[in-house]
Structure 1
C-alpha cells in the first residue's frame, strides 16, 4: 500500500472511529490531527495549529451563521411560527386532507426564516403534528409528513448548511441561497402531491370551509413575519446586501416586528433564548475552527488529489461522477450530522467535482439535499430522534411511516442531478454566477 493511500485511510478511519464511539465532531477532527501530525507520513509544524484555528474565524461570511440562527430562535420565541401556521391553514386547509398540505406550506414559509431542518422539526413540527392529530389523523402519517417537510428548510434560503458549504467551498453564499429556491419549491410541490394521493387513498375529510375573511385575518397577523424571507431573498437578488448583511437585516427586522406586532416575551424568556443561541453559535464556531485545521492537514497530505485520482480513474464523466458522490453522501448521511459532513467532506470533494466539470453551486445544493435525506434515514437520522422526542411516537412507528416519503424525496434528488439548470437558472438570471 502506498504511503499516500495509507495516510488517506488513517485520516478517514480515525475520524470515523472517534465519531462512531461518540466523540463530538469538533474533538474528533482535532484529535485526528493531533494523532497524525507527528507521524512520519506527514511533515507538519505544530506551531501552525493555533494560526490555522484562529485565522479560520477571521471571515466576514461566518457572521451569517449566528445572525440567521438567532433570527430563527427569536421568531419561535415571538410566536411567529403559530401565525404562519394559521395563515397556511386558512389558505389550503379546506381541501381534502388539507391539514397535511398546511404542514408542507407552513414549512416552506418558515424555512425561509429558520434555515435548519432541526429547527423546523422541533419548533413548527410540534404545532403541525398536534394539529393533524387533533383532527383525527393517525400518528404515523402525521409524523411522516412533519418529518419529510422539515428538510425543505435547509434548501430554501436562508440556510445554515448552505452557509457552511459556501465557507468551505469558497463560493458565493448569495448565489447558493438563490440556487436553492426552485429546488425547494419543487420539493414542496412533490410532497403536496404525495399528501393529495394519501388524502384520496385514505378518504380524508375536507377541512374548514375556505373563507376570504379568515385568510385576511390570519394574513394580517402573519404579514410582518412573512416580510422576513421577502426581505432576505429580494435584497440578495437585487444586490442590496450580501448574505451576511442579509442576516443582520433579518435579525434587526425580527426583533423590531416582534416587539411591535407580536407578544413580547418576559426578560427571563428573552435571555434564555439568547443564551441558547449563544451556546449553539459557540459550538458551531468550534466546529469551524477544527474543520479548517482538519482541512489544512488533509490538503497538506495530498489526500484530495489521491481521492480525485481514484474517482477519475473510474470515470471522468460528470453524471456518473455525481451519482458516485451522491451514493457516498447517502451512506455518510446515515451516520453523520449535516454540518459535520459538510465541513469534513467539502475540501476533500472539491478537486473531484472540479476535475469532472461539475458546477460547485449545483453540487452544493445536491450535497445538502442528499445529507438532508440522511437526516430522515434510520438508524441514526437526527430528525427521527427529534420527532420521537417532541411527539412521543415510538421510533419504530416513525421509521415505518416515513418510508413511503423517501420516494418523492429521492425522485427530486434524481431530477436535480439530471437537470442542473433547475438549480443554476435563477442564480444566472440574477447575475450571481
Structure 2
C-alpha cells in the first residue's frame, strides 16, 4: 500500500512518469536497506539487453515513415482502388492506415502521418469534422496491433515471450478491427449521404500503385526476414530503419538531405524518452518482484477462487481506467510484473493476454483525458479535444466489442501463431 501511495502521490503532483517510477523505486530500495548504487546498475543491465535495441530502431523507422512520403504513397494507392465509392476518403483512411501499420509499429506516428494528409482532404470535401477526426484517430491505433508493434516488443521483453509469436497473434484481431471500422464507416457515409469520390483514370491507377511498391516492400522485408528465420527482431528493426531511410531519401524524396539531422534528432529524442521510461519502470518492476507481491497476488486470487473469466474481466476494467490517465508503455511496465505470474496458474496463455493488453492500450490512446491520439488530431485540425472525442466515441464502442471477443475467444489471437509456428506444450 505504501508503494501505491508513493506512486500515485508523485503522479498527482504532476511529475513526469519516468521521475514517478524512478523516485518511487529509489525510496522503496532505500526503505528496504538496498544500496542506491544498485539502481543505476540495474538500469544499465536492463537496457543492455539485445531485444531492447529493437525499440529505438523501430522508433527511428516510424519517424522516417511519418515524414518521408510513405503515408501519402499508401493513401494514393488505396484511393486508386477505392476512390469511386461513397465517402471514399474515410474508407481509404482505414485501408491505408492498415497498410501503414504493417510498416510503422507506432500508433501516434501512424495517426500523425495519416492525419496530416487525410484530415485536410476530408475537411475540404465537407466531411463532418468530428467524423473526419474520429476515423483518423481511431484508425491510428492499428499501428500497435498489426505487426510490427512497439507495444508487443515491450510486452515480450517484460513477459519473456516470443516476439514473432506475438506479432502473428495480432494479425487476425488487427484485421477484425479494420473490418469493424470499415463497416461503421460504410454505415455512416450512407446515412449522411456523403459524396462519391471521382474514380481515377487508368493511368493514375497504375501510377499510384507503382509509387506504393517501395513502401509495401518494407513490411515484406521486415516480417519476411523474421518469419523466414533470416534475421532476429532486433536486426529486423534496424533493417526497417535503413529501408525507411532509403525509400524516403532516394525514392519519395520528401525528406531533403539537409533536413536529416533534424529528423534523426526527433527520432532519437522520442526513442530516448521511451527508453528512459522503460529503464525506470524495469527497476520499479524489480522491486515488485523482489518484494514478493506477485506470489502474494497469486495466492490471494487462488484463495478467492477466481476463474480466468473473472480475472480477465477485472484486469480489463483496471487497464481501461489506467488508460485514461497514463501513457500506454508506462501502464504495461507497471502492471505486467504483477499480472504475468498470475496468467499460467489460471490457464491463460501469455501470448493471448499480450493481444488483450494491446487492445486495452489502443483504447488508452483514444480515451480522454490523456489519449495521445486525441491531441495529435487536435493539433493537426486545430480542433478542440471535445470535437475529436465526439467523433471517436463510436470507434471506442467498436474497440470494446473487439476487446470482449478477443478476451473470451482466445483462438482469435492464438490460431495463427499455433498454425504457423506450432502449438506450445
Q: For 2:67 and 2:194, how far apart are their aligned partners in 1?
A: 33
| Corresponding position of 1:11 | 3
Work out whether 1:317 is the aligned partner of 2:317.
no
Q: For 1:372 and 1:118, how far apart are their aligned partners in 2?
A: 10
| Corresponding position of 2:193 | 203
Q: How many Å apart are 1:50 and its aligned residue?
A: 2.6
Once the two structures are superposed, the pairs formed by residues 149-168 of structure 1 within 5 Å of their partners are 149-168=139-158
Q: For 1:75 and 1:335, how far apart are their aligned partners in 2?
A: 28
Q: For 2:225 and 2:98, how far apart are their aligned partners in 1?
A: 19
1:359 counterpart (346, 349, 357):
349
Q: Which moved more, 1:146-155 or 1:316-325?
A: 316-325
2:255 counterpart (254, 265, 268):
265
| Corresponding position of 1:299 | 289
Work out whether 1:31 is the aligned partner of 2:23.
yes
Work out whether 1:289 is the aligned partner of 2:279.
yes
* Cα deviations by residue, 1:314-359 (Å, 9 ceiling, x for unpaired): 3442222111111110011111100111111111111121221111
Q: For 1:370 and 1:414, how far apart are their aligned partners in 2?
A: 11
2:13 counterpart (10, 21, 34):
21
* Cα deviations by residue, 1:65-123 (Å, 9 ceiling, x for unpaired): 11111111112332111111111111112111111111111111111222111111222
Q: For 1:45 and 1:354, how far apart are their aligned partners in 2?
A: 34
Q: For 1:109 and 1:13, how far apart are their aligned partners in 2?
A: 43
Q: For 2:217 and 2:17, how far apart are their aligned partners in 1?
A: 36
TM-score, L = length of structure 2: 0.95
8 A Cα contact 1:57 1:289, kept in partner: yes
Work out whether 1:228 is the aligned partner of 2:188.
no
Q: Which runs of 5 or more residues in structure 1 are unaligned?
A: 1-8
> CA 1:334–1:83 in structure 2 vs 1: closer, same or farther (change >3 Å)?
same
Work out whether 1:414 is the aligned partner of 2:404.
yes
* Cα deviations by residue, 1:138-191 (Å, 9 ceiling, x for unpaired): 111100111111101100011111111111111111111111111111100100
1:74 counterpart (61, 64, 68):
64
1:139 counterpart (129, 132, 135):
129
Work out whether 1:239 is the aligned partner of 2:229.
yes
Q: For 2:176 and 2:228, how far apart are their aligned partners in 1?
A: 23
8 A Cα contact 1:148 1:405, kept in partner: yes
Q: Which runs of 5 or more residues in structure 2 are unaligned?
A: none
Look up the SS of the partner of 2:85 in the other structure: coil
TM-score, L = length of structure 1: 0.94
Q: How many Å apart are 1:264 and its aligned residue?
A: 5.7
Q: What RMSD, in angstroms, separates the aligned Cα atoms of the two structures? A: 1.6
8 A Cα contact 1:154 1:160, kept in partner: yes
Q: How many Å apart are 1:256 and its aligned residue?
A: 2.6
Q: For 2:410 and 2:240, how far apart are their aligned partners in 1?
A: 30
Q: How many Å apart are 1:45 and its aligned residue?
A: 3.9
Once the two structures are superposed, the pairs formed by residues 76-155 of structure 1 within 5 Å of their partners are 76-155=66-145
Q: Count how many residue pairs are aligned between Structure 1 and Structure 2.
A: 423
8 A Cα contact 2:248 2:255, kept in partner: no
Q: How many Å apart are 1:309 and its aligned residue?
A: 3.0
Q: For 1:20 and 1:273, how far apart are their aligned partners in 2?
A: 33
